[in-house]
Amino acid sequence: MATRTFPEMPSPSSLLSAYASMSTSVILFRTMFNQLFPRELRRYVVDAVRFYWKPKSSKLTLVFDEKDGMTSNHMFDAAEAFLCTRINPDSESLRITKSVKENHINVKFADSEDIKDSFEGISVTWKYVHQPPQQRSGNGDDFDYTSGKSSSSRSFSPERKYIELKFDKKYKEIIITSYLPLIIKRSQELENQKKVVKLHNLQSYGGGPGGYKESVNLDHPSTFDTLAMDPKMKKAIIDDLNLFLRRKEFYKKVGKAWKRGYLLYGPPGTGKSSLIAAIANYLKFDIYDLQLTNVGGDSSLKKLMLRTSNRSILVIEDIDCSIQLPDRKGTAPAKFLEGKSVRDPMFSLSGLLNFIDGLWSCCGDERIIIFTTNHKERLDPALLRPGRMDVHIHMSYLTVDGFETLAANYLNIHDHHWRFREIKDLIKCKKVTPAEVAEELMKSDDADVVLEGLVRFLKRKKMEDDETKDEVDDEDDEVNEAKKAKIIS
User: Residue 367 pairs with which residues in a beta bridge?
Assistant: 259, 312
pLDDT band at 233 (very low <50, low <70, confident <90, very high): very high
Domain boundaries, the chain: 59-194, 198-394, 400-488
Mean pLDDT of 107-133: 84
pLDDT band at 24 (very low <50, low <70, confident <90, very high): confident
Q: What percent of the chain has pLDDT over 90?
A: 18
Residue closest to 351 by CA, chosen among 367, 371, 330, 332: 330
Check whether 310 has a pLDDT greater than 50: yes
Cα–Cα separations (whole angstroms), residue 456 to 383, 421, 445, 446, 461: 42, 14, 17, 16, 9
Which contacts of 236-242 are long-range, i.e. CB under 8 A and separated by 24 or more positions? 237/275, 237/279, 237/391, 237/393, 238/282, 240/391, 241/279, 241/282, 241/283
Range among 221-235, 325-339, 361-375 rated most confident: 221-235
pLDDT band at 182 (very low <50, low <70, confident <90, very high): very high
pLDDT for 468? 65
Mean pLDDT of the chain: 77
CA 439 to the chain's CA centroid: 33
Mean pLDDT of 285-311: 78
d(CA 365, CA 376): 27
pTM of the model: 0.60
Cα–Cα separations (whole angstroms), residue 381 to 328, 345, 376, 384, 389: 11, 19, 10, 5, 10
Helix, strand, or coil here: 29? helix
d(CA 288, CA 310): 11
pLDDT for 340? 47
pLDDT for 370? 92
What does the pLDDT look like over 423-448, one tens digit per residue? 888 887 778 888 999 999 999 888 88
More confident residue, 37 or 284: 284
d(CA 364, CA 307): 10
Of 104-118, 337-351, 417-431, the one with minimum mean pLDDT is 337-351
Check whether 39 has a pLDDT greater than 80: no
The pairing of beta strand 259-265 with beta strand 367-373:
parallel
Of 78-82, 200-204, 415-419, the one with minimum mean pLDDT is 415-419
Residue closest to 315 by CA, chosen among 389, 267, 367, 371: 371
d(CA 393, CA 276): 12
The pairing of beta strand 286-290 with beta strand 312-316:
parallel
Mean pLDDT of 119-139: 80
Mean pLDDT of 289-317: 79
| Terminal-residue alpha carbon distance, the chain | 163
**What is the CATH class of 198-394?**
alpha beta
Q: Are 312 and 286 in contact (CB under 8 A)?
A: yes
Query: Which letter does DSSP use for residue 311 in this model?
Result: S
